[in-house]
Amino acid sequence: MLSHIREFWSKYYRIFFMMIGLIVFKLLNRDTGIASLDIILETLSLIVLLFIFIGWGVSIQKRILQKSIKRYIYFTIVLVLFWLFVRIVKYNFVEAESIKRYLWYLYYVPITMIPLMGFFMSFYVGEGENYNMPKITKALYIPAVILIVCVFTNDLHQKAFYFYDGIEKYEANYSHKTVYVLAMVWVLLMVLLTFIHLYLKCLNPKGIKNILMPTSFILTGCIYSVLYIFFQSFISTYIMDLTLFMCFMTVGMWESCVASGFIITNNYYESIFSNSDISVIVVDDDLNKVYSSQNFKDISKGCLKSAKVSTLLISEYERIKSKKIHGGYVMWMENISELVEILDEIRDIGNQLKEVNEIEASKQKLKKKSLQIEERTRLYDKINDKISNHLTNLKYLLDKISNEKLTLEESKKMLAKICIKSVFIKRLSNFMLITENEKEISVKELEYSIKESFDYMSLYNISTGIISSNDEITDSNKIIRIYEFFEKITYENLEKLLAVRAILNKEDFDLKLIIESLDEFQEIYQDNLIINYFKDGKVTTITIS
């Protein structure tokens, strides 16, 4: 029983304090007959409410993880504070009846928008971080804005409130009209849709139990609204003002959704962290423990101080490593028994060697060889990633020429394609080997590569030629990108090409391709290259820089 009470208190204590704040407000905000005292008490009561709502907003910042829900809750808090602000100004700082009337109309901005924000929030309850509600739902802003505009322009048409004694005596005798009814229907509809949406998301016994608290706030708000319509004077005087009560119901309903678990929070991360199997601790900058898992051993501050600088060996088979985080450090224990066993084996091998120089030489040789193999493997993997698609294409061509019956002319063209593709693979691999050690290479390397490709294009009956007076040194990665583009534009259009001329300009290094083709070919572009096309009939000039 006691555990259930504690669990209930841990979830809903914020709502309890809100209720206490509301009671304090009601006790303070009363007529004592002394004007100055009434002003002080009303000011204190409003400060209590503002602290409650602002404090709740600050707690939302710390507790709520889902950005979409947090955004709509912030908007709701702004609307609530706006509602309170307008009420304060209306009753305490304004004498002119016309201004008071428009401040009264402004009540309907939060009255109309808060239920809509609640409906939007209900879409995100129980959903993941990347969820987006249907875009069509945002069309609901339109009727909400129309209702607000209609209420605010009531002086022109009196379709929301009709003043029997004239606008100047608006509070003396008035009745509700069509726009007001539509506004109340809108509020009721949004609240009902929000409730249904939340209910449909918790169709299980535990979910039904959790929705009881949010439901109680919704029903209380509805009951209050009905009573307010029929007994407005009595409710406002002896129970609570509509503005304050509805602000409390709004905040209370969403706080109950947070407390009930419908809205994801970080409230229980500490217990998850504490009960996890990993051996980890979070400390502040002064090495005071903030969070600790149950498997992390008690370590002195001296050891933690050493661990934050470098890896700390605390036993033969355990060590502590650390990483700087905002406001402190995270430290974790590692079991290194396997590593110790490996080191023992290495030590045994070392003991078998007779001379220290041989041991050292063997270590250096092994280390050097390991680094060489690792570097070579990395380079080969990098080259393989770059040319894998081209190798696949080359294999396809080889299989085709081996397995299919081709005419002499077809075989000649197939061999030419194989040679062109092989030259590209060879030259691209060569470029990558060069660029691994040199950031800049001679443009001549690109000239030689294009010439070799042109040699095999002649087998395709393509007229080729290259003009180059450029022997400058330039960025090796740019050379590779230009060569890749050259291969792509020519290889993919081999069947269409009649002639290709390449010009390597010396000033502002670029490659110009003048291509004559049977048909138009699709323009190709490539990242990190500026490519311009100029077509004149069958001749296309391409500038790559």
**What does the pLDDT look like over 259-305, one tens digit per residue?**
776 666 665 566 666 666 677 878 887 778 777 776 677 777 777 77
The answer to whether residue 193 sits within a structural domain is yes
Task: Report pLDDT digits (tens) over 477-499.
Answer: 888 888 888 888 887 888 888 88
State the residue range of the domain holding 306: 269-338
Task: Report pLDDT digits (tens) over 323-333.
Answer: 888 778 888 77
Q: By the 8 A CB rule, do 480 and 440 touch? A: no
Query: What is the per-residue pLDDT for 97?
Result: 81
Q: By the 8 A CB rule, do 159 and 177 touch? A: yes
Query: What is the per-residue pLDDT for 281?
Result: 77
Question: Does 285 lie in the same domain as 142?
Answer: no
Quote the CA–CA distance of 454 and 492 in Å, as a whole number: 15
Longest dimension (CA), the chain: 115
What does the angle CA 288 – CA 294 – CA 297 come to, to the nearest 5 degrees?
A: 60
Query: What is the per-residue pLDDT for 143?
Result: 92
Quote the CA–CA distance of 456 and 419 in Å, as a whole number: 6
Considering the chain, what percentage of its residues have pLDDT values greater than 70?
A: 76
Question: Does 255 lie in the same domain as 281?
Answer: no
| Residue 157 pLDDT > 80 | yes
| Residue 210 pLDDT > 90 | no
Question: Does 221 lie in the same domain as 142?
Answer: yes
Alpha-carbon torsion angle 107, 56, 62, 15, nearest 10: -120
pTM value is 0.49
* Residue type at position 182: L
Question: Does 253 lie in the same domain as 284?
Answer: no
The answer to whether residue 395 sits within a structural domain is no
| Residue 430 pLDDT > 60 | yes
Q: By the 8 A CB rule, do 515 and 487 touch? A: no
Nearest to 281 by CA among 314, 273, 302: 273
Query: Please, what is the average pLDDT of the chain?
Result: 75
Question: Does 418 lie in the same domain as 317?
Answer: no
**The domain that contains 506 carries what CATH number?**
3.30.565.10
Look up residue 435 and give its two tokens: 């660029």
Residue ranges of E strands in 368-437: none
**Which of 260, 294, 328 is a domain's end point?**
260
Task: Report pLDDT digits (tens) over 49-75.
Answer: 777 777 777 777 777 777 888 888 888
The answer to whether residue 299 sits within a structural domain is yes
pLDDT band at 238 (very low <50, low <70, confident <90, very high): low
Question: Does 90 lie in the same domain as 11?
Answer: yes
Higher pLDDT, 319 or 377: 319
Q: Using alpha carbons, list the distances in angstroms from residue 39 to 45, 242, 440.
A: 10, 20, 79
Whose structure tokens read 């190798």?
A: 391
| Residue 146 pLDDT > 90 | yes
Query: What is the per-residue pLDDT for 264?
Result: 66
Question: Does 163 lie in the same domain as 16?
Answer: yes
pLDDT band at 4 (very low <50, low <70, confident <90, very high): very low
Query: What is the per-residue pLDDT for 142?
Result: 92
Bridge partner residues of 517 (DSSP): 497
Write the CB contacts of 525 (distance below 8 Å, at least 6 apart in sequence): 531
Question: Does 103 lie in the same domain as 179?
Answer: yes
Considering the chain, what percentage of its residues have pLDDT values greater than 90?
A: 2
| Residue 335 pLDDT > 70 | yes
Q: What is the mean pLDDT of residues 211-221?
A: 73
- In the sheet with 463-468, reading across from the earlier edge strand, the strands are 463-468, 497-505, 510-517, 539-544, 531-536
Query: What is the per-residue pLDDT for 94?
Result: 80
Quote the CA–CA distance of 497 and 115 in Å, as a whole number: 67
The answer to whether residue 326 sits within a structural domain is yes
The answer to whether residue 370 sits within a structural domain is no
Higher pLDDT, 159 or 410: 159
| Residue 110 pLDDT > 80 | yes
Q: What is the mean pLDDT of residues 359-387?
A: 69
* Residue type at position 49: L
| Residue 7 pLDDT > 50 | no
Question: Does 132 lie in the same domain as 212?
Answer: yes
Nearest to 497 by CA among 449, 526, 451, 454: 454
Q: From the centroid of its chain, how far is CA 23?
A: 41
* Domain count for the chain: 3
Higher pLDDT, 12 or 265: 265
Whose structure tokens read 């691209």?
A: 428
Per DSSP bridges, beta strands 497-505 and 312-315 are unpaired
The answer to whether residue 15 sits within a structural domain is yes
The answer to whether residue 389 sits within a structural domain is no
The answer to whether residue 511 sits within a structural domain is yes
Query: What is the per-residue pLDDT for 26?
Result: 55
Quote the CA–CA distance of 90 and 513 in Å, as a whole number: 76
Question: Does 273 lie in the same domain as 161?
Answer: no
Question: Does 452 lie in the same domain as 428?
Answer: yes
Query: What is the per-residue pLDDT for 149?
Result: 92
Query: What is the per-residue pLDDT for 308?
Result: 76
Phi, psi of 278 (to 5 degrees): -75, 155
Question: Does 298 lie in the same domain as 171?
Answer: no
**Which of 209, 242, 260 is a domain's end point?**
260
**Which of 338, 357, 388 is a domain's end point?**
338
Q: Among the listed ranges 23-32, 218-227, 350-359, 393-402, which one has the minimum average pLDDT value?
A: 23-32
Look up residue 126 and give its two tokens: 């129980």
Q: By the 8 A CB rule, do 320 and 278 touch? A: no
Query: What is the per-residue pLDDT for 145?
Result: 92
Quote the CA–CA distance of 510 and 478 in Å, as a whole number: 10
pLDDT band at 20 (very low <50, low <70, confident <90, very high): low
Query: What is the per-residue pLDDT for 147?
Result: 92
Q: What is the mean pLDDT of residues 224-234?
A: 69
| Residue 440 pLDDT > 60 | yes
Per DSSP bridges, beta strands 463-468 and 497-505 are parallel
pLDDT band at 9 (very low <50, low <70, confident <90, very high): very low
Query: What is the per-residue pLDDT for 38?
Result: 60
Query: What is the per-residue pLDDT for 520?
Result: 73
Look up residue 544 and give its two tokens: 């790559």
